[in-house]
Amino acid sequence: MIPPLARRFVAGETEATALEHARQLNQRDVGAILNLLGEHYHSRPPADRDTDTYCRLVEDIGNTNLEACISVKPSQLGLDIEAGVFRANLERIVETAASEGVFVWIDMEDHTTTDVTLDAFETLARESDAGVGVCVQANLERTPKDLEVLATVPGKVRLVKGAYDPPEGVGFTEKSRVDEAYRSCLETMFETFEEGIAVGSHDPAMIDYAAELHAEYGTPYEVQMLMGVREDAQTDLARERAVWQYVPYGGKWLSYFYRRVRERKENALFAARALLSG
């Protein structure tokens, strides 16, 4: 059982709780991006098991009228075992999702996985009938070049600041430099993409900048934020534009919950207050 404290950031342990959360989000006009927690598998059985679960999940979503999609992590589908395992599992999910009309996002992990992740995305985006999207990280030096290619590929692109610290020469870690890169990538996307832009950020400055760029270029876009972070802002923004919430769920919630609590003082205070109030 997930303690109430962690339920702010994780929808529950089962598909049923994740779908119920999606239903509640939809009532606030917010879409749900469901993510089964799990990563860095070093043997096939867990990677294949999570692939099976995703296939069942997209069938379940397809049987509802929910505004919901999924987001998968390459290392959850077997990338640490072998690129071929990741690609085969991803293809299986995308094939099932295509038949159910469900969109599939591919998360981006550390910089050593960027090439194989973008390759897999590009192949599926060009060849499959399914809607697919990929995440790119503004803190990597290569991202402006990747965006040039991605502008020519069908599918969506989620721009994030980046959750993994890249080594020197590969990317930046200084916050002001990352913010500057995020703005620059965002501008490139609004300028060169015809559609398919997702702003994956909680940062009011970046969300305002996206609105300015939209007013200038007219390119449609959506905002994506994590479950439990700036929930009121998500509801408010959804009155004006498409907003999607990234919704983690599943048995492996503990390390994800600690990551959320550690990353910001407010989250740690929230956790401490909840613990003290019993």
List of residues contacting ligand FAD (CB under 6 A): 107-108, 135, 137, 160-164, 200-204, 224-226, 229-230, 246, 264, 266-267
Cβ pair 136, 121 in contact under 8 A: no
Nearer of residues 96 and 224 to ligand FAD, judged by Cβ: 224
- The catalytically annotated residue of 50, 60, 80, 107 is 107
Establish whether 158 is a catalytic residue: yes
Cβ pair 250, 13 in contact under 8 A: yes
Nearer of residues 129 and 258 to ligand FAD, judged by Cβ: 258
Burial 250-262 (b: 16+ CB within 10 A, else e): bebbeebbeebbe
Spatial separation of the C-alpha atoms in residues 210 and 214, rounded to whole Å: 6
Spatial separation of the C-alpha atoms in residues 134 and 229, rounded to whole Å: 21
Phi/psi for 52 (5° steps) reads -60, -45
User: Taking the complex as a whole, how short is the minimal distance between the CB of residue 257 and ligand FAD, in angstroms?
Assistant: 13
- The catalytically annotated residue of 80, 146, 158, 260 is 158
Spatial separation of the C-alpha atoms in residues 45 and 26, rounded to whole Å: 34
Phi-psi group of 196: left, alpha or beta (phi > 0 → left; psi -120 to 50 → alpha; rest → beta): left
User: Taking the complex as a whole, how short is the minimal distance between the CB of residue 95 and ligand FAD, in angstroms?
Assistant: 22
Spatial separation of the C-alpha atoms in residues 66 and 64, rounded to whole Å: 5
Nearer of residues 67 and 203 to ligand FAD, judged by Cβ: 203
Nearer of residues 44 and 170 to ligand FAD, judged by Cβ: 170
Spatial separation of the C-alpha atoms in residues 212 and 66, rounded to whole Å: 30
Nearer of residues 153 and 225 to ligand FAD, judged by Cβ: 225
User: Taking the complex as a whole, how short is the minimal distance between the CB of residue 117 and ligand FAD, in angstroms?
Assistant: 9
Sequence-separated contacts (24+) of 256-260 with Cβ below 8 Å? 256/9, 256/10, 256/37, 257/5, 257/6, 257/9, 257/10, 260/9, 260/226, 260/228, 260/229
Nearer of residues 88 and 233 to ligand FAD, judged by Cβ: 233
State both tokens at 28.
Answer: 């606030």
State both tokens at 12.
Answer: 């529950």
User: Taking the complex as a whole, how short is the minimal distance between the CB of residue 23 and ligand FAD, in angstroms?
Assistant: 19
User: Taking the complex as a whole, how short is the minimal distance between the CB of residue 198 and ligand FAD, in angstroms?
Assistant: 8
User: Taking the complex as a whole, how short is the minimal distance between the CB of residue 54 and ligand FAD, in angstroms?
Assistant: 16
Catalytic residues: 107, 158
